[in-house]
Structure 1
Amino acid sequence: MNKILILDAFAKAEQEIKKTGVVKPSLTQMATELSMFIEEKEDFILGERSLRDYRSDALKLEDDESDISIKQIAVINGLCKYLGFQDYQDYFQNKNSKPVEPKLGVIKSNHHYSLTIKLFIAASIIVFLVFLLYKNSQKQRWMVWQDDHYVETSFDAEKYSVHRLKLYKEDRIVSFKKVSVTCDTIFFNEDNSVRFWYGKNKNKEIEYFTDLGLHPETGKTLKPITNYMINKYVCND
């Protein structure tokens, strides 16, 4: 039933992007929205191209009894959370389906295992993931938000635990900045596409950024600037 999950997630992403003023969101915009959410909530990077491929596979099987295989459990959990559910089981229970284990393309867990065995497996997975995190952190590149931009930094377990440490992304370092705007700022390109995005910080103050993405402090998706926002909050004097 992964095909239902991926199609539901894309459908919600389309509606969320439309709320920002985009009349007809592209598949790339929808996939990017999901990719950023999964990275933020699950600390797992999956490119928008892979998500579009999953959607394409799902559409091919939409009227078929067979299912697609999503190999990353973090992606499955992230999509479920994006739809407002706690996990995979919660999602399908609310879809009035019999709870099943997600199809991962590997050996499935038997849902008839005893609670003790399940807890042992869960604990083993956690230990293994912690080991992988430590091992990969030694060679992975990281970045952290500093005042108004991201800077590359070394791994810091304390910052990682409070979600301040992010996986290094070149485009975030180069293009994503917090800026001040005035009524004289050029907010739109010649083709009327926006040049700035906005979002509220933890103090409920509106801040402006040079690219779409998540607010560095709150983790909420930034919205594209509109004439209404400009007139109300920038040029209100």
Structure 2
Amino acid sequence: MKKELFTAVFEKAKNQTGKHKPNSLSKHLSWVFTEDLKLPTSSITFVRYYKKYIEDDQTISFNPKTDLLNKASEYIGYESYEDFVMDKKILEEDSSQTTVISIDRIKEFEKNEGNLKSKLSIWIKNNHQIIIINTTILVMVSVLISSGIVTKRNVRWMKWHEDHYVEVEFEGSTYEREILVPYSEDLIENFKKIKNPNCETQYFTDTGKAITWYYKKGQGNLEIFTAPGSHPTNGKSLKIMTHHIIHKYLCDSY
């Protein structure tokens, strides 16, 4: 797991600096860890980790301490090294998820950094799915309506309302304020957000199969859904529920 962690750390450093040489990246990380993360760490230390974990130099026996692993995890958007390891294991267990550290996770964390211009750029990257979906739908509807193939009345739409999808009529003013998506009976019937999940909530079937998925927003704040797919308001992929997540965030006696 340490190799994956430091791969992500140096990848983020490359994105922040635009540089690729180990010495330049290590100097940047030394400054960030010392000034921002309040853990003084020399650039020489990061050079060693680059050689060991990125270049696979087997002659280096130097190992990172727990406090550095925690700060490195925090740097790429996790609460701790334990959180990083568990999230990595969850991704590996779920065949529908990639085993590579999500660049979107890094970008999401980076939206709190930089000046206003960089924040806007990161926001667009993080929300490109929603922007593309909205733009595509608007263009398609405009073309179809202008060509007379369909009218506003015979196109079915739905939107997210608090904890479930509801069917709505297409209105220009509504479209500008909210995200409308093509109607799906399956999502209408099966995709719900569970209110106030706790120890009594059924997260698995009697045979142990997960029937809930989650989205983690902030520290310890989870949103639980009854079907897989994407988050209805930000487009992020939902993760399949695990016993570890329930015990850590929802029910400590689970």
**TM-score interval, normalised by the smaller of the two chains:** 0.3 to 0.5
Q: Which has the larger radius of gyration?
A: 2
| More RCO (CA 8 Å, sep 6+) | 1
Give the TM-score normalised by structure 1.
0.45
Give the TM-score normalised by structure 2.
0.42
